[in-house]
């Protein structure tokens, strides 16, 4: 058992006569490790991108809600009346009249 550990530490399993099997396995495991690391980096990059997009969606949603509430306040009759008073306009005291146009064909 002690000799096996010393052989591994010295690296004799890499230069012995049947070392081709060992090199193939080492290269295979190394290639798998590289693929696993690349996949992990790719997944992390996607997670960061998703997080960034979620933050953008939240910002845009809050901007939309803010704009919609401002629009609702501007469309209120009291706001429109106040703006018109600033310009010197007032509501009409006489009600509006309907204009009916008769067709000349009949």
Q: What pLDDT, in 10s, does the model give residues 27-67?
A: 999 999 999 999 999 999 999 999 999 999 999 999 999 99
How far apart CA 32 and CA 86 sit, in angstroms, is 75
Q: Report the percentage of the chain scoring pLDDT > 90.
A: 48
Q: Which band of pLDDT confidence, cut at 50, 70 and 90, is reported for residue 17?
A: confident
Tens digit of pLDDT for each residue in 62-97? Answer: 999 999 999 999 999 889 889 999 998 888 888 888
The structural domains of the chain, with segments of one domain joined by +, span 2-86
How many angstroms from the chain centroid is the CA of residue 74?
A: 32
Q: 């002690």: which residue's tokens?
A: 2
* pLDDT of 103 strictly over 60: yes
Q: What is the DSSP string of the chain?
A: -HHHHHHHHHTGGGTSTTHHHHHHHHHHHHHHHHHHHHHHHHHHHHHHHHHHHHHHHHHHHHHHHHHHHHHHHHHSHHHHHHHHHHTT----SSPP-------TT-
- Confidence tier at 106 by pLDDT (50, 70, 90): low
Q: Give the pair of three-digit tokens for residue 6.
A: 């010393």
pLDDT band at 11 (very low <50, low <70, confident <90, very high): confident
């Amino acid at each position: 058992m002690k000799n096996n550990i010393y052989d591994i530490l010295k690296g004799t399993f890499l230069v012995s006569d049947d070392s081709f099997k060992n090199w193939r396995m080492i290269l295979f495991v190394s290639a798998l490790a590289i693929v696993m690391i690349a996949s992990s980096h790719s997944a992390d990059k996607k997670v960061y991108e998703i997080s960034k997009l979620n933050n953008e969606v939240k910002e845009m949603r809050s901007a939309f809600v803010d704009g919609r509430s401002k629009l609702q306040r501007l469309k209120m009759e009291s706001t429109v009346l106040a703006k018109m008073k600033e310009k010197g306009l007032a509501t009409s005291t006489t009600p509006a009249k309907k204009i009916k146009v008769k067709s000349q064909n009949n």
